[in-house]
Amino acid sequence: MQKKMLWGLGVLALLICTAFVFMTVRNRAEIRQLKEGTAAAEKPLEDSNKRKPVAKADEQPPAEPGFKWVWHNDHWDKVPIDAPDTWQGEPHTVDVSTPAPVPVSVKTHLPLLVEIENPIIKKQILLRTINVDGIDIDWASLSPDELAETIAKLERREITEPAGYYYRRRSDNSLLFDESGYPILHKIGEPFISVAWTMEFRPPQEVYEEYRQLARRRNLLDPSPELDNIRAQMEEMRRTYAGPLPVTFGISCAGNDIDAQVKRAHETIDQLKAGFFRQLGIEYLLSRY
């Protein structure tokens, strides 16, 4: 009886040891499998992060005409093509040793624009939109040699822009010029404005008065042969007295206050248009355009 009890205890101990070894091996296998699974799950993400390059401008969708991509913190922003290559909110280095420039009036640049004998139709001409005393260089006062030398220094960035301003450049960093052939100093945060000559109705004043009288009569008539005749006369006037006028303006804005920029742009355009028409001697057409 005693031997049977000893055998029973031995078998029980053996079973317990076997179960312990089995559970230990199983747990270790599960832990190893879990680690391998976690590593396998993390590896694609790690590989993806390793393969993921820093965004490049040429990998972005093509920017719209007149715009380019500029890096801002950790992403690219689309800005006008002649905006600075640094984000507008970043500090701009200012050379305090630069002599104070002489103020230039917008009126200085109007005559050259309106005295063009054969303007290129629909070609956008960049306009300067600032008129702040003590900001820009008096380009018109420079001799041809001085002008060429100053422009060359600007191209080499040897002349630093005043605080809050920059000279407009193309995407290749070459300078952009206004209708007078001078570099354009632009205020950061202000809209860009351009104008194009287009063929429009440009009659002498007496012809325009006759045209307006016909328009008033047309508006009072019901469909009739007389109405058709008036419309034909007006169409013939528009065809006969067509001429180039700088009335097609373009506006481009960048930043957060787009609505405010557009409002300022329209105010500036009204002033510029009035100046153009005065120079051309056709102020009587302002009400039409």
Report how far residue 215's alpha carbon sits from residue 218's, in angstroms, rounded to the nearest whole number. Answer: 5
Q: How far is CA 58 from CA 55, 79, 125, 225, in A?
A: 9, 15, 28, 61
Confidence of residue 108 (pLDDT cuts 50, 70, 90): very low
DSSP class of residue 182? -
Residue 226: pLDDT above 70? yes
Phi, psi of 131 (to 5 degrees): -150, 70
Most confident of 69-73, 102-106, 198-202: 198-202
Residue 80 is inside which H or E element, if any?
strand 75-80
What does the pLDDT average to over 57-80?
A: 57
pLDDT of residue 215: 95
pLDDT of residue 230: 96
What does the pLDDT average to over 135-139?
A: 84
Residue 196: pLDDT above 50? yes
What does the pLDDT average to over 27-45?
A: 49
pLDDT of residue 113: 73
- 235: which 2 tokens? 């169409």
What predicted TM-score, i.e. pTM, was given to this entire model? 0.56
Pairing label, strands 124-127, 75-80: unpaired
Percent of the chain with pLDDT over 90: 33
What does the pLDDT average to over 76-95?
A: 49
Q: Give residue 178's region: left, alpha or beta (phi > 0; psi -120 to 50).
A: beta
Lowest-confidence region among 69-83, 107-121, 150-164, 227-241 = 69-83
pLDDT of residue 254: 77
**Based on the number of CB atoms within 10 Å of its own CB, is 282 exposed (0-12), middle (13-18) or buried (19 or more)?**
buried
User: Going along the chain, which residue ranges are E strands?
Assistant: 67-72, 75-80, 124-127, 165-167, 185-187, 192-201, 242-252
Mean pLDDT of the chain: 75
Domain edges within the chain: 1-52
Report how far residue 110's alpha carbon sits from residue 105's, in angstroms, rounded to the nearest whole number. Answer: 10
Phi, psi of 169 (to 5 degrees): -135, 160
pLDDT of residue 149: 94
Confidence of residue 235 (pLDDT cuts 50, 70, 90): very high
Confidence of residue 181 (pLDDT cuts 50, 70, 90): confident
Confidence of residue 150 (pLDDT cuts 50, 70, 90): very high
Q: What pLDDT digit, counting tens, does each position of 275-287 carry?
A: 899 989 999 999 9
Lowest-confidence region among 2-16, 112-126, 179-193 = 2-16
- Per the CB < 8 A criterion, the answer to whether 114 and 148 are in contact is no
Residue 162: pLDDT above 70? yes
